[in-house]
Chains A and B, each alone.
Chain A
Amino acid sequence: MKTINILLVLLMTFSFAASAHGDKNKDKGLFKGIDTPAAKVVLAFHQALETGNKDLARAQLADDVTIYEGGRVERSADEYAHHHMLSDMKYLASMKSKTLEHQVTVLGNTAISASRSHTQGTYKGKERDYQGMETMVLEKQNGEWKIKHIHWSH
């Protein structure tokens, strides 16, 4: 009986400690607002790039999106779709990327998304292993969230 009681106390202590650790991570706010409709557009865009779905990726962008990437700028969705989108898709297909944190905040008809990821893989014979940052601004247009601005850096 005594052993059972000790085991129960230990289990409860372990459960409390695990829960406290979970809450601590939650408090750190590494993932916030990712269930919002605006965040779903961001996630759909990421998935479309990773799976090479050009139409789906293009559909998440506002026509007049501004994209900052690696010291370059693209000033419309069509410009991006016709230039770097395909090379980004090819690149991401050979990489493994893990989101380390992602916060999305909705402010009326605008939303902001900030995320950090870890990317690893080999592309064109070169090994890559780096941390990437992404900032996005989204705008609700005719009831649908569209990406108005992207800033990527690593």
Chain B
Amino acid sequence: MTKYIAITMLSLLAFFANAHDKSHMNDEKQITHIIHQIKYGWENGDGKPFRKHFLDFKGARYFESGGQNVGLNDLVEHHVEPEKDALVFLSLDFSNIQIHIEDEFAWALADTAVKGEVRKSGKTFDKTGFQTFLFKKVDSEWKVLHTHSSARNRR
């Protein structure tokens, strides 16, 4: 009888551990997907992924190399979308993505490489740097709370 109880308890433990791992994997998958969507949004000057995956709240701040956008509308309308016209092309790569999950909060770090050409001046840029993303789970979906990117000319 004790043997059966032990087996049942071990099975339950294995089941819950597996469920926890799966949930963690799903969280990481969802966050990675959002990061890829952000890349798409920046490269195409498309605000839709930002509107879908960012938490629109009063006081939201998005930092980029000494500048900031205040609020989601400001980010989309004054930064993401205008780049479509201002740049001939923009290529943004995130690599070495590290995701840390703590209950309903997550943060992700990534190395970045960004290349582009400014339409008006014809100047090109080629930079490397880092990106910080902060996320919060809202109604079972991860939402971006804050981003911070910084880059300098490739050496």
The interface of chain A, by Cβ under 8 A from chain B, is 29, 32, 66, 68, 70-71, 73, 103, 105, 107-110, 112, 114, 116, 130-133, 135, 137, 139, 148-149, 151-154
Contacts and interface: CB of A to CB of B under 8 A. Distances in A.
Contacts, number: 84
Interface size class on chain B is 20 to 34
Contacts of B100: 148
A148 B145 CA distance: 17
Given A32-B59, A112-B145, A151-B150, A107 B66 contact: no
A132 B104 contact: no
Given A110-B102, A112-B146, A149-B107, 13 more contacts: A29-B59, A71-B128, A107-B103, A110-B105, A114-B63, A130-B66, A135-B146, A137-B134, A149-B132, A151-B130, A151-B150, A153-B63, A153-B65
B61 interface: yes
B132 A135 contact: yes
A135 B63 contact: yes
Contacts of B8: none
25 contacts: A103-B61, A105-B145, A107-B136, A108-B102, A109-B102, A109-B103, A110-B102, A110-B103, A110-B105, A112-B107, A112-B134, A112-B145, A114-B146, A133-B65, A133-B67, A135-B134, A135-B146, A137-B134, A148-B100, A149-B132, A151-B63, A151-B150, A153-B63, A153-B66, A153-B148
Interface of B: 58-59, 61, 63-68, 100, 102-105, 107, 109, 128-130, 132, 134, 136, 145-146, 148-152
Nearest to B130: A68
B61 to A, nearest CB: 5
Contact of A135 (B103, B105, B148): B148
A70 B132 CA distance: 14
Contact of B151 (A71, A112, A152): A71
A116 B58 CA distance: 17
A115 to B, nearest CB: 9
Nearest to A132: B66
B101 to A, nearest CB: 10
A108 B105 contact: yes
Contacts of A131: 66-67
Given A32-B59, A139-B102, A154 B65 contact: yes
Contacts of B148: 114, 133, 135, 151, 153
Q: Is the interface of A mostly helix, strand, loop or mixed?
A: strand
Nearest to B132: A151
